[in-house]
Amino acid sequence: MESKVKFKDLLKIAVEELKDLTTVENPDFRLEQAEFNESLGEWDIIVSYLIDNSSEGQNILNLTRSTNYRTFKRIKINSRKEVMGFYIFEN
């Protein structure tokens, strides 16, 4: 089975699925890794994006530092561009 999905399409699909999981104005979505599993007909991708660091307390020392950090998610997408799974990923 051959995949006809392009890398930019994979990122668009991932962004659509993940965009509601962040409140950062510009979450800077990035396709970090993509691998096509030919026997399953699925893409296994890793996407990173910025999220708010809500565990960081509000004090004078934190006002000068960014309160965003990059998180990573693993997503499986089939050849028909359907999301088949969404997983926690830690690098």
pTM value is 0.80
Establish if 77 belongs to a structural domain. yes
pLDDT score, position 58 = 55
Domain that holds residue 78: 7-89
Kindly state whether residue 1 falls inside one of the protein's structural domains: no
Question: Is residue 56 a part of any domain in this protein?
Answer: yes
CA distances from 89 to 12, 33, 61 (A): 19, 12, 30
Find out whether 28 and 14 touch, Cβ atoms under 8 Å: no
What share of the chain in percent tops pLDDT 90? 67
Residue 18: inside a domain: yes
pLDDT at 57: 55
Q: Please give the tally of structural domains in the chain.
A: 1
Residue numbers of the chain with a pLDDT score lower than 70 = 1-3, 55-66, 91
pLDDT at 1: 47
Q: Is position 2 within any domain?
A: no
